[in-house]
Chain A
């Protein structure tokens, strides 16, 4: 196995031979033309024939929707009649408009492709590997692949993504939960059930802003209601006791207001400085550069321009072309995979293996069956030592934060840490404690932290399977 971990040059001509030989089989087996979403390699789910895209774990999205609908339902049922009578009819109108806007934004965030980058074609991957310098094949731990480029006279490191087989564009990150590289990756939000990236960041932002307004509005109306009732002659406690259904309602509103307002404030800051949550947590452009805005090469150095660029900029198209039809040569890897009948994440774990040569991956898909016994199921590249820890975490469909956080933290000491990795981790922790916004905005950043840990681990090198 170790010998197979040596870096091997890929001969593109060898690659072009393989699909053609399988092509004859494809023509017989594929009876209807398939759409590209059906063979999409990431861990996403598609509905309505590819029109709607969701992450594989959307467990908390129904909860988010449920909370919003129930809270608004209680508001309309119990508070509106009273307030309409005593104040104005516009209260339910405003509430209704905000509710509609919140739900639309939420669904739009969840169902939109966040900016997924399609994986490199084998030819492209071969070309990239040819360009990478290798010192020799004696070590079985190839050096981490990074490329330094100049962006606006600032040095930025581009990392090589082993799963997608390409150098990630700047500001792109690989989400391990969805197993995709996402452009301008912000974080993976479990509440929304999707990654937040270039294409749906504006929807996400309008969701949290409108939700802040909605929760503040509802909270204000409820307080007004209670106050008005108590002014009618009864005491405050008595008027609360009159409608006890309001208790959980008020508690939900109170806590959600703080976290949502905090999150909105945090994202407003990010937008104004043209940063992503990912960059902010990692501290990519901060304090060590000693100048807030010149550190970030993507910032336009003007708050208004930054805001306009992020929120009102042109809407980039989806790069993955979910509903396009597969051409014959693209259908081949999918057909050969289904013919072998390996479980889906085993096929992906082939890509995760330490043998980066694409030729080996294709050979394994066609020839070997015993690979899946050795490969960790659908987790980032780690040793089999971590299987027990990481396996259940990855395989579980419950995106609960505690379950998500603990195994990853436990895994860190097991993976022999590369110095940069552990250093950046410490820096991340210190940033996490310093920034008060993180305490308030609990759901997304903490899970995103684990996502970054997962995403970063393979980039600093990896450990081959023994």
Chain B
């Protein structure tokens, strides 16, 4: 967990200036999608296009996790036939995609957001309700 260690260091060293919460977008039902509207607090910190690209990728990944396709049906039927004991040994498709999402967020944080004094929190840590963007005080820039 070296990556979170460095992010935690950043959290401890820099003071939190503000937190922006990106809520869920329910216009397509209960599937997990987040609002990709660019929050005004981030205007000075990051490029709008970059941010929207991150959000779009995240939304696509969540859509992939919840997709009703042949793979999920096969998994569901197999689980039913084995009296759901198959989940004790096998990881579900959703969990695999969540790992992919966690890796993607970490990578985005390292490459793009941390250098700008921002931190994206994985929504799974907030119960898939919000994407929390922590804005750290920018001591390096003078305004």
A interface, CB within 8 angstroms of B: 12, 16, 100-101, 104-105, 108, 117-118, 120-121, 123-124, 127-128, 149-152, 156, 158, 166, 169-171, 183-184, 202-203, 206, 297-298, 305, 308-309, 311-317, 319-321
Say which residue of B27, B67, B94, B129 sits within 8 Å of A169 (CB atoms): B129
Task: Tell me if A314 and B127 are in contact (CB < 8 A).
Answer: no
**Complex alpha-carbon distance, A127 and B134, angstroms:** 13
Consensus secondary structure, chain A interface: mixed
Q: Which residues in A have their C-beta under 8 angstroms from that of B30? A: 169-171, 183-184, 298
Task: Tell me if B95 and A151 are in contact (CB < 8 A).
Answer: no
Additional A-B contact list (16), CB under 8 Å, known A121-B126, A312-B72, A313-B72 = A120-B129, A123-B19, A123-B21, A124-B130, A149-B26, A169-B26, A169-B30, A171-B30, A183-B30, A297-B29, A312-B80, A314-B72, A315-B75, A315-B76, A317-B124, A320-B127
**Complex alpha-carbon distance, A308 and B74, angstroms:** 11
- Answer whether A151 and B19 are a contact pair too, CB < 8 Å, given A101-B83, A314-B66: no
A-B contacts counted at CB < 8 A amount to: 107
Consensus secondary structure, chain B interface: mixed
Task: Tell me if B95 and A317 are in contact (CB < 8 A).
Answer: yes
Task: Tell me if B77 and A312 are in contact (CB < 8 A).
Answer: yes
Q: Does B18 contact A (CB under 8 A)?
A: yes
The CB with the most chain B CB atoms within 10 A, among A100, A120, A320, is that of A120
Minimal Cβ-Cβ distance residue in B for A309: B68
10 tightest A-B CB contacts, nearest first: A312-B76, A104-B83, A118-B127, A319-B127, A314-B72, A315-B92, A312-B73, A314-B94, A127-B21, A117-B127
Q: 0/1 per residue, B85-127, Cβ < 8 Å to A?
A: 1010000111100100000000000000000000000001111
Minimum CB–CB distance for A299 against chain B, Å: 10
| B residues 42-86 in Cβ contact with A at 8 Å | 65-68, 72-73, 75-77, 79-80, 83-85
**Complex alpha-carbon distance, A376 and B130, angstroms:** 31
Q: Does B13 contact A (CB under 8 A)?
A: no
Task: Tell me if B76 and A313 are in contact (CB < 8 A).
Answer: yes
**Complex alpha-carbon distance, A321 and B68, angstroms:** 25
Q: Which residues in A have their C-beta under 8 angstroms from that of B95? A: 317
Q: Does B16 contact A (CB under 8 A)?
A: yes
Q: Does B14 contact A (CB under 8 A)?
A: no
**Complex alpha-carbon distance, A149 and B35, angstroms:** 13
**Complex alpha-carbon distance, A101 and B67, angstroms:** 28
**Complex alpha-carbon distance, A411 and B128, angstroms:** 35
Minimal Cβ-Cβ distance residue in B for A120: B129
Q: Does B142 contact A (CB under 8 A)?
A: no
Q: Which residues in A have their C-beta under 8 angstroms from that of B84? A: 104-105, 108, 203, 206
Q: Does B140 contact A (CB under 8 A)?
A: no
Q: Which residues in A have their C-beta under 8 angstroms from that of B27? A: 149-152
**Complex alpha-carbon distance, A45 and B123, angstroms:** 25
**Complex alpha-carbon distance, A104 and B24, angstroms:** 35
Minimum CB–CB distance for B116 against chain A, Å: 20
Minimal Cβ-Cβ distance residue in B for A200: B84
| A-B residue pairs in contact (CB < 8 Å), sample of 12 | A117-B127, A123-B19, A124-B21, A124-B129, A170-B30, A298-B29, A308-B76, A309-B68, A312-B72, A312-B75, A312-B77, A314-B67
- Answer whether A308 and B68 are a contact pair too, CB < 8 Å, given A170-B30, A206-B80: yes
- Answer whether A316 and B127 are a contact pair too, CB < 8 Å, given A12-B19, A170-B30: no
Say which residue of B73, B75, B85, B126 sits within 8 Å of A124 (CB atoms): B126
The CB with the most chain B CB atoms within 10 A, among A128, A158, A308, A317, is that of A317
**Complex alpha-carbon distance, A203 and B83, angstroms:** 9
Minimum CB–CB distance for A67 against chain B, Å: 20
**Complex alpha-carbon distance, A311 and B76, angstroms:** 7
**Complex alpha-carbon distance, A171 and B108, angstroms:** 32
Minimal Cβ-Cβ distance residue in A for B97: A314
Minimal Cβ-Cβ distance residue in B for A12: B19
- Answer whether A315 and B94 are a contact pair too, CB < 8 Å, given A104-B84, A118-B126: yes
Say which residue of A149, A202, A309, A317 sits within 8 Å of B94 (CB atoms): A317
**Complex alpha-carbon distance, A4 and B33, angstroms:** 37
Task: Tell me if B92 and A170 are in contact (CB < 8 A).
Answer: no
Minimum CB–CB distance for B89 against chain A, Å: 14
Q: Which residues in B have their C-beta under 8 angstroms from that of A206? A: 80, 84
Q: Does B132 contact A (CB under 8 A)?
A: yes
Q: Does B40 contact A (CB under 8 A)?
A: no
Task: Tell me if A314 and B83 are in contact (CB < 8 A).
Answer: no
Minimum CB–CB distance for A52 against chain B, Å: 13
Minimum CB–CB distance for B99 against chain A, Å: 10
**Complex alpha-carbon distance, A308 and B92, angstroms:** 17
